[in-house]
Structure 1
């Protein structure tokens, strides 16, 4: 009634899956998310254009030529010119350079402050955690835009001031996420093993707990970049951000608002760049959230 299975038949019915690390599997799932890949491609293209377009163009962002003021988009000026005859194409991508620099710089500082603060609070717990998180609750109860504007008023307008203000304001959410992750992970066996082997608190935090929390950290970091870009654009729009003749997307929109009924293209291009970039980062962040979630692993 039974037939002995040969070794060749065993090999035919064997299902072999290549061994993958956590990050390799996350990258595989991210590549399978077409929408997230589109967002990643848009971010890469926008970053490359921000670096190269102002360098390769024969125009610069500040030179004025009133003889070609308010020209419609053409082969000479792809996005047209503004009221001072400045090339909008160059100014939009020079603005991309500033806005992306603000977004990335503020997010990196947010990463450093939020991860360290949340990691320390979550690891020690008890009274230390209670005091540290009450400070966070007080700061969180104040609308973020209010104290960003107050910081900008104190520090004054400028690129460095915008980055510092956003970094000071944006670490709160990161700290809460990292604290929650660390409080879960510190009960795991690998942390007990590290303590048994005599590992210091610094080593446990930096080599064990924080690296194992990188999934939520990366997702939060990715979603913080468009938020910082939008905030910088708003501050520049109301006159508290980047000052002329520098061109961020917020200043370009502010300048275009003066004559948008006559020259709507001057508003369309910088506003469109803000929308496309923020959408791309949000799509990429959603894709990273799904790719880095262990529950989604197949």
Structure 2
């Protein structure tokens, strides 16, 4: 068919429209915005961060939430069990302010006498419940005793939320005071990593050549010195405490970060944008701070987050074996050490600091995992 003979009425003018093939439907996001978006999609990491914020707030404000100081000693109120006003009627929660346990004997009377003897013969304040009567020969009798120690000591209107230790010091106050000290050491280790480790590794990796060789030989010498040996040397020179731990972390705590930063700098320092900046006469210090460090910021943040729980465990371990803080100073390590000595008879002294240090370490590791995924471009959707 000849198209020139078609009637003009069949044709309509085509209006000009923008080419939508290259039109961006949504605004573009930066890498940091993508990382933030990915991180906030990780619900477990967000919950862990909220938990950490709550623990940090309690470490600051918890010691001032009652009238007891972290070192207020009164032996007359020693080893008082946890008691909370709103929960003292719910026995299974463990906040009813009573001691309890099972006692065995050849007869019920013998088992009962053991219970009375264990709880200072305060018979008027001890409830006895027979679990197994026995027969005196083939099987033992078992009784369960509940000792109302607050009433026995005429302290009905007194509440120790997490109990007291053997010297009568309030465990709630000491727990959060100890958490504050442990967090201080953890963030100190993170700060040392960021200041010394990043600077040392960045300079070593960027300079290269003879400077890098000399700096790496120094690192190898420091790597060969275990942290425990450094702590022992500090104790010989100084005394066990925060100062000794701080100096030990300053000497050897940044080596891992320095090695990681050096490796990352070596990978990217010969890329085109760095060579272009160098060609334009940019100073080395500006290239490191403006071009190299921002591109390895994800690695730095992630390793810093993993450093924090390691430092908390390091302090707790040293305090537990007597090389860290020493009583009456409080830290999670010293509280666990004290609780371990009374584990069989007063398990609550160990339970609460162990829970706090476990939650802190797990939460920091989960947040670090979330940050690692957030700074991985493959995880961005």
User: TM-score, normalised to structure 2's length?
Assistant: 0.72
1:108-140: per-residue Cα shift (whole Å, max 9, x none)?
A: 012211111111111011222223223323433
Tell me whether 1:34 sits opposite 2:43 in the alignment: yes
Q: Which residue of 2 aligns with 1:115?
A: 198
Aligned counterpart in structure 2 of residue 46 of structure 1, from 44, 48, 55: 55
Aligned counterpart in structure 1 of residue 27 of structure 2, from 18, 26, 45: 18
Contact 1:43 1:280 in 2 (8 A): yes
Question: Residues 159-238 of structure 1: matches in 2 within 5 Å?
Answer: 159-238=242-321
Aligned counterpart in structure 2 of residue 86 of structure 1, from 162, 169, 172: 169
Give the Å deviation of 1:277.
0.4
Corresponding residue SS for 2:252: helix
Corresponding residue SS for 1:107: helix
Contact 2:62 2:176 in 1 (8 A): yes
Give the Å deviation of 1:249.
0.6
Corresponding residue SS for 1:241: coil
CA–CA separation in structure 2 for the residues paired with 1:149 and 1:211: 38
Higher relative contact order (CA 8 A, sep 6+): 1
More helix by share: 1
CA–CA separation in structure 1 for the residues paired with 2:29 and 2:232: 47
CA–CA separation in structure 2 for the residues paired with 1:9 and 1:205: 42
Q: Which residue of 1 aligns with 2:360?
A: 277
Unaligned runs of 5+ in 2: 1-13, 85-158
Aligned residues: 295
Unaligned runs of 5+ in 1: none
CA–CA separation in structure 1 for the residues paired with 2:281 and 2:235: 46
CA shift in 2, pair 1:232/1:5, >3 Å: farther
Tell me whether 1:100 sits opposite 2:183 in the alignment: yes
Give the Å deviation of 1:94.
0.5
1:250-286: per-residue Cα shift (whole Å, max 9, x none)?
A: 1111112221110011011111111110111111111
CA–CA separation in structure 1 for the residues paired with 2:51 and 2:15: 54
Aligned counterpart in structure 2 of residue 257 of structure 1, from 322, 326, 340: 340
CA–CA separation in structure 2 for the residues paired with 1:5 and 1:46: 64
CA–CA separation in structure 1 for the residues paired with 2:338 and 2:226: 27
Tell me whether 1:292 sits opposite 2:375 in the alignment: yes
Q: Which residue of 2 aligns with 1:69?
A: 78
Give the Å deviation of 1:15.
6.9
CA–CA separation in structure 2 for the residues paired with 1:183 and 1:61: 49
Q: Which residue of 2 aligns with 1:126?
A: 209
Give the Å deviation of 1:62.
0.5
Query: Larger C-alpha radius of gyration, 1 or 2?
Result: 2
CA shift in 2, pair 1:73/1:199, >3 Å: same
CA shift in 2, pair 1:121/1:8, >3 Å: closer
Give the Å deviation of 1:150.
3.3
Contact 1:159 1:242 in 2 (8 A): yes
More strand by share: 2
CA–CA separation in structure 1 for the residues paired with 2:240 and 2:15: 78
CA–CA separation in structure 2 for the residues paired with 1:49 and 1:122: 41
CA–CA separation in structure 2 for the residues paired with 1:264 and 1:232: 22
CA–CA separation in structure 1 for the residues paired with 2:237 and 2:15: 80
Give the Å deviation of 1:96.
0.5
